[in-house]
Amino acid sequence: MDQGIIPIDKNFELQYVYYEKNPKYKYFNRKFEIFIVEKKSFKKKYVMHMDNADIRQMMPRIFKASSGSKRHDFGVTTLNWNDIKTKFTDYIVSELGEKQRNNIKKAVGKLNSPKI
């Protein structure tokens, strides 16, 4: 299992978890989760995440925090990892604001492909 934290700025960070290889996951070869969290003084607040937990779907799904609970919001419609990162960056920018685009782009750019 590979996991880590990539800071976006002083208020937000990316947390990622790539699990061990599993033959159930057809395209990416393993389960992965990427979280966006807001850093508060003594706790962290969930903003959104992307994962491929549903083995029936080849493409990852993105979930946003809405009124205290996770809600299935939209899917990424490509299997190319660079396109997925670009789409995910756009979704994060829509949540955090256009001023954060460069910081978000740098942080998402540091993510490795879960296929490796």
Maximal CA-CA distance, the chain: 40
Q: Is pLDDT above 90 for 41?
A: no
**C-alpha radius of gyration, the chain, whole number:** 14
Predicted model pTM: 0.85
- Quick check: 14 and 6 in contact, CB under 8 A? yes
Instruction: Give the strand pairing for 2-7 and 44-51.
Output: unpaired
Which of the 8 DSSP states describes residue 97? -
The answer to whether residue 18 scores a pLDDT higher than 90 is: yes
Q: Tell which residue, 71, 65, 106, has the closest CA to residue 89.
A: 106
pLDDT tens, 56-113? 877 888 888 865 555 555 566 777 888 889 888 998 998 889 999 999 999 999 998 8
Q: Average pLDDT of 18-39? A: 89
What's the chain's length in residues?
116
110: left (phi over 0), alpha (psi -120 to 50) or beta: alpha
